[in-house]
Amino acid sequence: MSAPVAEGVEAANPVERFDRTPATSVRQHPERASYDRAVVHAILDESLFCQVGFAVDGKPFVIPCIHARIGSTLYLHGGLASRLMQVVASGAEICVSATIVDGLVLARSWFAHSFNYRSVVVFGTGRIVIDLVEKARALRAVVEHVAPGRSREARPPSPKEMAATAVVAIEITSGSAKVRRGLPRDADSDYELPVWAGELPLQLTPLPPVSDPRMPAGLDLPDSVRDYRRPGQA
Amino acid sequence: MSAPVAEGVEAANPVERFDRTPATSVRQHPERASYDRAVVHAILDESLFCQVGFAVDGKPFVIPCIHARIGSTLYLHGGLASRLMQVVASGAEICVSATIVDGLVLARSWFAHSFNYRSVVVFGTGRIVIDLVEKARALRAVVEHVAPGRSREARPPSPKEMAATAVVAIEITSGSAKVRRGLPRDADSDYELPVWAGELPLQLTPLPPVSDPRMPAGLDLPDSVRDYRRPGQA
């Protein structure tokens, strides 16, 4: 997917790394940081939902939200009257965070306990999406983000439903990822302790689907449900 | 666990519901909202981690963080130099959000798609925890929050480790929960469509533990790992 050509002084070519800024520089465990756009994008794509942060008169808000990414644009949707939609549409600065926990890191000491995780924090400013072609494309991306293939199985929105849904776009201007993997890193003197240590991997896993009893008889489970997994998941 | 006696004009008795404020009133799908402290607390306890939001000079930040709750106090820990610890310790207003996704709601139309989820958004102000008894209690609560029983299996912090860890407390002053359960709520005319509809439940599930090869031989899997589940999970 090609990035839109940036206007103004920014280079028009795809930029593969985010510039480090005071806001995005990872200070705690900088060895876990990545400023690689591909790493940031992959974590955003695998994360089922995100947390959207904004400030109103200096008061912070964090709201869980479903997102979809196209290029370096994040799309969110919601009710027209929601605070989140209104603030994002106003062009205020937005912070979006998404986290995938891959496991518990169980060390010999409380102190060395950790998580294995992949997280991103990105910043950008929003705009409301008015163009109907972009809006439909964004809503398709949201459905596909949640359940790949589902947009072809279910009924697309009517003009009335389109009008009842607000879509906002956030251009990601800066951001970073943070990734921890592997076993505990205990203090040298702790390796003799008789304490079980290791990783307990965790994964968001589908359980058996629950069919709506009001369906017409004889419908098979669709591909989007039978083979459900997050992008990047084995 | 008894709540501390509030000073000033607030009632000293335990308050079972949060007052609704403009910031905490759920506007989108108000039928999903709960202002019941027990509901909010149970979701915080089951959530493995949270997202902490704050504003610096009007710029929003959202940082994933491990938390533990004791009564109506949330404890977070981190490096002394982290922005998060410094901002929370400054007494600034903090917003904490936590979300558990219970399933995908796959409807006949794109428009009626949803998640089943339990989420909370709480607000409060922070302080740094200096008292060593409170600090040790908070760190134990954090370990227990992540893996119940683990604090008895692993080595507690040394004075040096205690000094290297910052702990902050956020008194939850307001908040709300939002819960969706059940099947899709499709438009009446869509129930005839030949589209599979229902719920795909999702759960954060442990995979087989990975033992650290540097352990002394002969250690069994501890209870905290063998029986791992989140509080409230079946």
Q: What is the pLDDT of residue B81?
A: 85
Inter-chain contact A203–B207, Cβ cutoff 8 Å?
A: yes
Q: What is the pLDDT of residue A40?
A: 97
ipTM metric: 0.91
Q: Reply yes or no on whether the pLDDT at A157 is more than 50.
A: yes
**Chunked in runs of 10, what are the mean pLDDT values of chain B (234 residues)?**
33 66 84 93 97 96 97 95 91 97 98 97 96 98 97 97 96 96 97 98 96 95 94 78
Which residues from A are below 8 Å from B219, CB to CB?
A: 194-196
Question: pLDDT grade, residue A3 (50/70/90)?
Answer: very low
Inter-chain contact A54–B60, Cβ cutoff 8 Å?
A: yes
> Which of A183, A200, A229 to mutate to test binding with chain B, by most B CBs within 10 Å of its CB?
A200
Which residues from A are below 8 Å from B150, CB to CB?
A: 106, 113
| Residue B133 C-alpha, separation from nearest chain A C-alpha, in angstroms | 16
Q: What is the pLDDT of residue B15?
A: 62
Inter-chain contact A101–B49, Cβ cutoff 8 Å?
A: yes
Closest CA to B7 of B122, B176, B171, B132: B171
Phi, psi of A44 (to 5 degrees): -60, -40
Which residues from A are below 8 Å from B55, CB to CB?
A: 55, 58-60
In the predicted model, what is the mean pLDDT of chain A?
A: 91
Inter-chain contact B202–A201, Cβ cutoff 8 Å?
A: no
Closest CA to A166 of A76, A96, A64: A76
Q: Give the predicted TM-score (pTM) of the model.
A: 0.91
Which residues from A are below 8 Å from B209, CB to CB?
A: 198-201
Q: Reply yes or no on whether the pLDDT at A185 is more than 70.
A: yes
- Distance between CA atoms of residues B165 and B65, nearest Å: 14
Inter-chain contact B196–A221, Cβ cutoff 8 Å?
A: yes
B89 Cβ neighbours under 8 A, 6+ residues apart: B126, B127, B128, B166, B168
Closest CB to B192: pick one of A119, A139, A216.
A216
> Which of A137, A152, A155, A179 to mutate to test binding with chain B, by most B CBs within 10 Å of its CB?
A155
> Which of B21, B62, B174, B229 to mutate to test binding with chain A, by most A CBs within 10 Å of its CB?
B62
Give one DSSP letter per residue of B164-193, joined into a string: HEEEEEEEEEEEEEEEE-SS----GGGGGS
Q: Reply yes or no on whether the pLDDT at A154 is more than 70.
A: yes
Contact B123, B23 (CB under 8 A): yes
| Residue B74 C-alpha, separation from nearest chain A C-alpha, in angstroms | 16
Inter-chain contact B210–A198, Cβ cutoff 8 Å?
A: yes
Inter-chain contact B205–A206, Cβ cutoff 8 Å?
A: no
- Mean pLDDT calculated for residue range A104-114: 98
Which residues from A are below 8 Å from B201, CB to CB?
A: 206-210
Which residues from B are below 8 Å from A149, CB to CB?
A: none
Structure tokens at B20: 């609704």
Comparing B117 with A227, the larger pLDDT belongs to B117
Inter-chain contact A78–B28, Cβ cutoff 8 Å?
A: yes
Q: What is the pLDDT of residue A15?
A: 62
| Residue B155 C-alpha, separation from nearest chain A C-alpha, in angstroms | 4
Using CB atoms within 10 A of its CB, is residue B227 exposed (0-12), middle (13-18) or buried (19+)?
Answer: exposed
| Residue A71 C-alpha, separation from nearest chain B C-alpha, in angstroms | 22
Buried b (16+ CB within 10 A) or exposed e, A179-210: bbeebbebeeebeebebbbbbbbbbbebeebb
Report the residue of chain A nearest B213, measured CA to CA.
A198
Question: pLDDT grade, residue A11 (50/70/90)?
Answer: very low
**A:B CB pairs within 8 Å:** 296
Q: What is the pLDDT of residue B23?
A: 83
- Mean pLDDT calculated for residue range A82-93: 93
